[in-house]
Amino acid sequence: MPRISPEDVAHVARLARLHLSDEELTTFTGQLDAVLGHAADVEALDLDDVAPTSHPYPLTNVLRDDVVAPSLDRAEVLAQAPEVEDHQFKVPPVLGEAP
């Protein structure tokens, strides 16, 4: 039985803001199913008492001194944006459609 269906792939593509053609949906479903199938080898492991590792080197509460320091140059940052207005990033309407 496949581990992931075309409906699942279409759902995650939507969550990830990616559009897939019908052909891509078929190809990606097969490929993702193969990779997830490889995960079967860890399913037999008894991991109930094992703590998860999210970070390999233990560092906690990394804070900088609370002093003012130069930040990135605003003009240089905005110069890379696709569209800018009044020193702000400009996007199409968030609600509804452009008039």
Partner 1 sequence: MSAREIAAAVRAGERPAREVLEEHLAVVDARDGELHAFNLVLADEARAAADVIDDRVAAGEDPGPLAGVPVALKDNLCTRGVATTCSSKILEGWQPPYDATVVARLAEAGAVLVGKTNLDEFAMGSSTENSAFGPTRNPHDPTKVPGGSSGGSTAAVAAGMASVGLGSDTGGSIRQPAALCGVVGMKPTYGRVSRYGLVAFASSLDQIGPITTTVADAATVFEVIGGHDPLDSTSIPRPSPEIMATLGDGVAGLRIGVIDELMGAEGMAPDVLARTLEAVAALEAAGATVGEASVPAAVYGITAYYLVAPAEASSNLARYDGVRYGLRVDAANTADMNEASRTAGFGDEVKRRIMLGTYALSAGYYDAYYGKAQKVRTLLIRDFEKAYEEFDLLLSPTTPTTAFPIGEKTADPLTMYLNDVCTIPSNLAGHPSMSVPFGTGDDGLPVGVQVLAPSLGEDTMFRAAAVLEGAAP
Residue 22, phi then psi, degrees to nearest 5: -60, -40
Side chain identity, residue 43: E
Cα-only R_g, the chain? 23
Contact 82, 92 (CB under 8 A): no
Residue 26 in contact with partner 1, rule: CB under 8 A: no
Query: Which residue among 45, 67, 86, 87 contacts partner 1 (CB under 8 A)?
Result: 45
Contact 26, 6 (CB under 8 A): yes
CB of 24 to partner 1, least distance (A): 8
Rounded Cα distance, 16 and 86, in Å: 30
Residue 68 in contact with partner 1, rule: CB under 8 A: no
Residue 31 in contact with partner 1, rule: CB under 8 A: yes
Residue 60 in contact with partner 1, rule: CB under 8 A: no
Binding site for partner 1 (CB under 8 A): 4, 8-9, 12-13, 15-19, 28, 31-32, 34-36, 38-39, 41-43, 45, 47, 50-57, 59, 62, 64, 72-73, 76-77, 79-83, 89, 91-98
